[in-house]
Amino acid sequence: MVSKKDSILKSAATLFRTRGFKASSMRELALAMGVEAPSLYNHIGSKSELLQSICSKVAEEFQNHLQEVEASDETPVEKLEKLIRFHIQMMLQSFDEVCVSNHEWKYLEEPHLSSFLQQRKSYEHRMIKLVKHGIDEKLLKNIHPQVAVLTILSAVRGLEFWQRYKKELDATVLENNMVNHLLTGIIK
């Protein structure tokens, strides 16, 4: 069962993605949900709190998945594949939330802004470490690890544009093709 707060967060993510955080109002959110604006404050404190909750939830999901992948006994290539697949699935299943996290994070208030940026930086460094391990094990080409990671993250982020064509392309086909393309470009 979806809680009222989760329902509010989902609606807020859709509103923030389509209108932008700054241009969105609590009144618009209430209207979209079919409730009175004051009733929203029974569940949340402010529009900023909504943004912080959305960004934190997304960051936590990515961090938790990365931690699971890092702890596995799989090869660096298998780990990268799992990470790429997870990123794709998050873009497909939690599109609004991920887009808000990708674009509207700059409106987070301190200390949440600094914490969010540190989490992103840590995530990227941990992925770079994984690519370096794959290079050391001679499983990946001798490429610049940061370029490889930024290419992977940028490619998956590009799925925002795919949403326009999702009726024409099966999600499984998309995922498999992206994984194949991104990994075969770096596998030795």
SS3 105: helix
Sequence-separated (6 or more) residues with CB below 8 Å from residue 18 = none
Segments making up each domain of the chain, as ranges: 46-184
Q: Give the residue ranges of the chain where pLDDT is below 70.
A: 164-167, 186-188
| Torsion angle of the four alpha carbons 133, 81, 117, 44, in this order, in degrees rounded to the nearest 10 | -150
Do 93 and 50 touch, CB atoms closer than 8 A? Answer: no
Amino acid identity of residue 152, one-letter, is: I
pLDDT at 64: 98
∠ CA 58-112-3, rounded to 5°: 45
Place of tokens 């389509």: 18
Query: Model's pTM, two decimal places?
Result: 0.90
Q: Tokens in use for 64? A: 């938790």
pLDDT at 130: 97
Kindly report, residue by residue over 96-126, the tens digit of the pLDDT: 999 999 999 999 999 999 999 999 999 999 9
Distance, in Å, from the CA atom of 34 to the CA atom of 11, rounded to the nearest integer, reads 11
Secondary element (H or E) of residue 87: helix 76-93
The CATH number of domain 46-184 is 3.30.70.20: no
pLDDT at 169: 73
140 backbone dihedrals φ, ψ, rounded to 5°: -125, 155
pLDDT at 111: 97
pLDDT at 1: 74
Handedness of CA 36, 57, 20, 89 (dihedral sign): negative
